[in-house]
Amino acid sequence: MKEKFENEMKLEFISKSSNEAFARVAVAAFAAQLDPTIEELADIKTAVSEAVTNSIIHGYEDKQGIIKIVCRLKENEIIIEISDTGKGIEDIEAAKEPLYTTKPNLERSGMGFTIMESFMDSMEIESIIGLGTKVTMSKKIKEKEEKTEDEFEMLVND
């Protein structure tokens, strides 16, 4: 039986670094339907940036390709799939290790998957050499009653 979602959006764009900001904003605008806090939205945007940047730098390297994003809303949760048809990841477990990088010459930290995991509630990586990679992340947005008065004060006094 196919899972039922309340809303869904699909986006495809060329693997140019200038499209990374576009991807962040598009996903954030879609996630806004769940009425997230500024912090929750920042977490989502950061995780999307990391996944898209990985596709551009590692998946396609010096070639251009298409990056696809599918976002689904289910109750108070956003599920984000970011996929490419790039070269794939040889060793997913090694790639998930903090500071691991296949591009030490670039000024990158090797923290992309670590950041995605820490900012989202779940993260899964599927990859096949020569066919590409798909990262699926999800985050539950707290119900309004769960949000603290401190958060409200922070928003009001900004």
**What phi and psi values does residue 70 have, to the nearest 5 degrees?**
-125, 125
Q: How far apart are the first and last CA of the chain?
A: 46
User: Distance from CA of residue 121 to its chain's centroid?
Assistant: 11
How many C-beta neighbours within 10 Å does residue 72 have? 19
How many C-beta neighbours within 10 Å does residue 14 have? 12
Active site residues: 50, 54, 108
DSSP secondary structure letters along 71-119: EEEETTEEEEEEEE-SS--S-HHHHTSTT--S-TTSS--S-HHHHHHHH
Nearest to 111 by CA among 41, 51, 44: 51
